[in-house]
Amino acid sequence: MAVAMTLVIAWILAANPPASGQETVPLGHLLAGRTVVIDPGHGGFDPGSIGRQSTEAAVNLEVALALRRWLEAAGAHVIMTWSKPTDIPKTRKYRVQNRMEFINSTGADVLIDIHCNASASVWHGPQTFYWNGASSYHLAQSIQEELQYLTKTRREVKRIDQYVLRYAKMPAVNVEVGFITNPEEERLLLTPAYQNRLAWAIFIGMERWFLKAHWPLDLLQAPPPTELLIR
């Protein structure tokens, strides 16, 4: 298996040789030119889950903005469902159907929904969810592997029936970046450096997913080649 993997990697590098004078392929290379929709969950009238110091919508937006910065630096085209607290009126509840119509109208390559989880205060760690199809499943896996590496969480990818995931016309995942109901994790979620690291993990997971799109199906279905992950 390792030999086969090495051959595939060699083939990918041969197919995408670094520009002359460069020794390595720049990080984020596979994201250049892609269109990505980021949907920070909730907003405006709807704060989402409530922490001791903050709301889910506020945390979702900060992580989404950090992810947008990484993606734009890599040359991706990023569309956000909202990017300022004032984008959604506080006086009336938005309709998730309208948000969904907007997301599908973009024709984006991929949708990343950002949320925070809520439960008993001892629960912690990020977790990635998907609903439709192999592409979304592999995207969720790639992102969750990076989040596991970052946070040491043992949470695994789960299939879940959520409106946005069900009706998205592109590969779509919901990244629950952590439990806002855990005071320690909430403190982390409010720290810009940690928000940035979460966004980085999602970004690298996305990059690896675009890389996997070049792989033959039998390799995709094999267990993840952990010895080849970028660390």
Query: Is 115 a residue that touches Zn ion (CB under 5 A)?
Result: yes
Nearer to Zn ion, 142 or 174 (CB): 174
Closest approach of Zn ion to the CB of residue 42, in Å: 6
- CA pseudo-torsion sign 19, 24, 27, 29: positive
Nearer to Zn ion, 34 or 115 (CB): 115
Would you state the structure tokens that stand for residue 148, as one six-digit string?
């596991």
CB atoms under 10 Å from CB of 231, counted, come to 8
Q: Angle formed by the axes of helices 192-212 and 133-151, to 10°? A: 140
Nearer to Zn ion, 61 or 139 (CB): 61
Query: Is 41 a residue that touches Zn ion (CB under 5 A)?
Result: yes
Among the residue ranges 34-42, 127-135, 163-171, 222-230, the one whose residues contact Zn ion (CB under 5 A): 34-42
Query: Is 178 a residue that touches Zn ion (CB under 5 A)?
Result: no
In Å, how far are 119, 126, 190 from 160, measured between CA atoms?
Answer: 17, 15, 26
- Contact call for residues 153 and 124 (beta carbons, < 8 A): yes
Pick from 28, 40, 43, 48 the residue near Zn ion by CB under 5 A: 48
Nearer to Zn ion, 115 or 124 (CB): 115
Nearer to Zn ion, 12 or 188 (CB): 188
Among the residue ranges 36-44, 66-74, 131-139, 205-213, the one whose residues contact Zn ion (CB under 5 A): 36-44
Instruction: Report the alpha-carbon angle 103-109-113, nearest 5.
Output: 50
Among the residue ranges 6-14, 83-91, 107-115, 137-145, the one whose residues contact Zn ion (CB under 5 A): 107-115
**Could you tell me where the beta strands, DSSP code E, fall in 10-167?**
35-40, 77-80, 110-117, 127-130, 158-159
Q: What residue ranges bind Zn ion (CB under 5 A)?
A: 41, 48, 115
